[in-house]
Structure 1
Amino acid sequence: MTPTNQHTSHHGEGGHHSGHAHGGHHEHVDRGQAEILDLDAEVLGEHMASIIAWLPLESEPRQIVDLGCGTGAGTFALLERFPDAHVTAVDTSAGYLQLLREKACARGVERRVRTVQADLDTDDWPDLGTPDLVWASASMHHMADPDRALTSVRELLAPGGLFAVVELAGFPRFLPADAPESRPGLEERAHAAADGFHAEHVPHRGADWGPMLTAAGFTVEDERTITVRIEGARSETVGRYAYGGLRRIRGVAAPALGPEDLAALDELLDTDSPNSLLRRDDLTVRTERTVWAARRA
């Protein structure tokens, strides 16, 4: 996939792509993005599990490919749901794959995970086996040529296999509409500014994958949109998730924000300020995720 200031996109959002694993060192990892991916997995883990449980599988998958696995949120949720399955976790980032392998060892599931570093924007994909299930969460929109990638997935799948595409409406919102007091509606304006950046650099973000799947030779068996609302109260995890996300959104939104909005955003991101995001007790995680479940036509 083309490199992006990712997750600001969802992570802003979650997901990468991947080839031949050759190690990787933590100094090459975008630590801020890796933390957001881990927080995303922690905060939204229950919703991830519910999506996996919903999948219209004909039988329990034994071989799974996780495309754009990031630091492993989907990989470990799939391993937990399907205790007899093996997962091939694919990403462009050697650093993320190293983190994933360390987590697999810590959880005692390293023998059930294979990591593959690959650029899925090339024609020549590595050997990913013949999976019963291909899972792509917040990764397909990063593909430079989604149609080509969808064709590659169709050729990869075992007969009767399922392709699950999970995408997000954007990075979650956290603040009440009337916050902060000095600049009500600031969060939405920051997102709108970031959306302008993403429309240019990540054009498939927010796309309807149903028609693209059909055009690539899939039959979409089902589609579901999940609305997420998690009351954060004084949750430290939700606070860090909001802080990390808004900090990355600031990175792409700043040129399009006015000076008053930028000052208010910087105050929210100032951990020493009494008005810091981390001191608020009114944060709520609000987002939507849509999942398409498709088979080879």
Structure 2
Amino acid sequence: MTFSVHDHGAHHADRCGVQGQAEILDLDAELLAEHIASITAWLPVKANPRQILDLGCGTGAGTFALLTRFPEAHLTAVDSSVSHLHRVREKACEGGVADRVRTVQADLNATWPDLGKPDLVWASAALHHMADPDDTLRRVHDTLAPSGLFAVVELAGFPRFLPDDAPKARPGLEERCHAANKRHHAGQVPHRGADWGPRLTAAGFTLEGERTIAVNIEHSHFEAVGRYALHSFRSMRGAVADALSVDDLVALDQLIDIEGPHSILGRDDLAVRTERAVWAARRT
């Protein structure tokens, strides 16, 4: 999202490990930049925040959108991945905002470091990865400055790329892959898809806004859609291979074979279709 988390930090555990995950996060930031900006513009801030905390920042999609939206703010970017934080620092230097960004490596399921008293906390695709998300909500509440705002962004739907009748040999393959992937991760990520509104209220927040952002980006507009789709299908393969039929697995392998005639990179009918759910809650 890190548009987040790093559901995208974590919902795509790429077969290439951290590097592959970083590539997906960067593609996510590139393709969804307009949508992330629309979320930051919608946030019901009472005054422009001076201190921002980005929990599960990934490679910085939310980090830099927030710094653009609030040009006077300084931001603390927190993630468990040293590699992701290194990428955030590189981007901050490239963008001329290194003096406004502090990075903190931390496992938020363990002891929280001193993160100051931010006016705004942003958690994109991060909460559902917490071992005890309700405890995390209480910690955020106590960390925020009085009247501070907490923005929660979560995947309301994983990205889809193919038309329903594709690929020609195995129509509906993508939905079967996602169904198998959901079953595979059900026990590992039980809080994915939660309604965070009541849980925010239970943690002491006042809910001030909720919305869903629909995303539909056609391949013809962005060459990166093909690369995003490729990484996404590659990332799913390990989780779904045992659950697919032989014919489905063959079709999946043909899609992710960039040298083959059925490579997903050769398709001109791709689109990124997904949704993001957003909650804005205030510490009162």
Give the secondary-structure state (helix, strand or coil) at the position aligned to 2:139: helix
Asked whether the equivalents of residues 12 and 36 of structure 1 are also in contact (C-alpha less than 8 Å), the reply is no
Q: CA deviation at 1:256?
A: 1.1
Matches within 5 A, 1:24-39: 30-39=18-27
TM-score by length of 1: 0.90
- Which residue matches 2:134? 147
- Which residue matches 1:232? 219
Q: Is 2:98 the partner of 1:98? A: no
- Which residue matches 1:197? 184
Q: Is 2:137 the partner of 1:136? A: no
Question: Structure 1's 261 and 207: CA in aligned 2 closer, same or farther, altered over 3 A?
Answer: same
Give the secondary-structure state (helix, strand or coil) at the position aligned to 1:98: helix
Paired residue type of 1:102: E
- Which residue matches 1:215? 202
TM-score by length of 2: 0.94
Asked whether the equivalents of residues 152 and 279 of structure 2 are also in contact (C-alpha less than 8 Å), the reply is yes
Matches within 5 A, 1:261-276: 261-276=248-263
- Which residue matches 2:62? 74
Paired residue type of 2:63: T
Unpaired segments ≥5 residues, structure 1: 14-27
How many Å separate the matches in 2 of 1:5 and 1:227? 19
Q: CA deviation at 1:10?
A: 3.3
Q: CA deviation at 1:219?
A: 1.1
- Per mean C-alpha deviation after superposition, the further-off stretch among 265-274 and 228-237 is 228-237
- Which residue matches 1:56? 44
Residues 29-88 of structure 1: CA deviation (Å, up to 9, x unaligned): 711000000000000010000000000110111100000000111001101111100000
Q: CA deviation at 1:249?
A: 1.1
How many Å separate the matches in 2 of 1:224 and 1:5? 20
How many Å separate the matches in 2 of 1:284 and 1:84? 36
Paired residue type of 1:261: D
- Which residue matches 2:282? 295
Give the secondary-structure state (helix, strand or coil) at the position aligned to 1:172: strand
Give the secondary-structure state (helix, strand or coil) at the position aligned to 1:169: strand
How many Å separate the matches in 1 of 2:149 and 2:9? 28
How many Å separate the matches in 2 of 1:187 and 1:224? 27
- Which residue matches 1:121? 109
Asked whether the equivalents of residues 29 and 96 of structure 1 are also in contact (C-alpha less than 8 Å), the reply is no
Asked whether the equivalents of residues 7 and 155 of structure 2 are also in contact (C-alpha less than 8 Å), the reply is no
- Per mean C-alpha deviation after superposition, the further-off stretch among 4-13 and 52-61 is 4-13
Asked whether the equivalents of residues 52 and 78 of structure 1 are also in contact (C-alpha less than 8 Å), the reply is yes
How many Å separate the matches in 2 of 1:270 and 1:80? 38
- Which residue matches 2:12? 11
C-alpha RMSD over aligned residues: 1.8
Q: Is 2:204 the partner of 1:181? A: no
How many Å separate the matches in 2 of 1:171 and 1:34? 17
Q: How many residues align?
A: 279
Residues 148-178 of structure 1: CA deviation (Å, up to 9, x unaligned): 1000000000111000000002430000000
Question: Structure 1's 263 and 5: CA in aligned 2 closer, same or farther, altered over 3 A?
Answer: farther
Unpaired segments ≥5 residues, structure 2: none
- Which residue matches 1:161? 148
Give the secondary-structure state (helix, strand or coil) at the position aligned to 1:120: coil
Q: Is 2:34 the partner of 1:46? A: yes
Asked whether the equivalents of residues 234 and 281 of structure 1 are also in contact (C-alpha less than 8 Å), the reply is no
